[in-house]
Amino acid sequence: MNIKYWTGIVGIVVLTAGWLVSGQLRAETTLSDGYTLEDFSLRTAGDLVDICTLERSHPDHMAARAFCYGFFEGGMHYEDAISMSPTYKRISCNPPETTRTQAVEVFVTYVRTNPRYASEAPIDTIFRALVAKWPCEA
């Protein structure tokens, strides 16, 4: 499969996540748990942590979970696609049986342990966390 194929897949995941979120939007914009609708703009890794850790009892939980997993899935597929290129080496070497839930837990734990990275771009911090947990051998 080529990179154009995977880029299309990532686009579909992002659009689907956006559609799921738009169906869940409510009038309130700020909630007491640190989560806001602005978090879906994903300006920072902290925004993604807020989305990925939204409580099950929250009315937006299902949309947030789908968005979180979709973002991770898209990032992983993108790395898979570009690592097929002879000029790009894989940066994260997680075991094949690793689940999205485990990857999200690694990311959330990493950001909470290293809050200085919470203001970085979400995808950068995801890979920073995954490389810290599962580095590739040189």
Answer yes or no: are the C-beta atoms of 58 and 64 closer than 8 Å. Answer: yes
At 42 the pLDDT is 80
Identify residue 61 by its one-letter amino acid code.
H
Residue with tokens 């007491």: 32
**Beta-bridge mates of residue 92:** 135
At 72 the pLDDT is 92
At 137 the pLDDT is 81
Residue 54, CB-side half-sphere exposure with 13 Å CA sphere? 24
At 15 the pLDDT is 45
At 69 the pLDDT is 95
Q: Report residue 92: phi and psi, to 5°.
A: -120, 130
Residues of the chain with pLDDT under 70: 1-41, 138
Identify residue 10 by its one-letter amino acid code.
V
- pTM for the model stands at 0.71
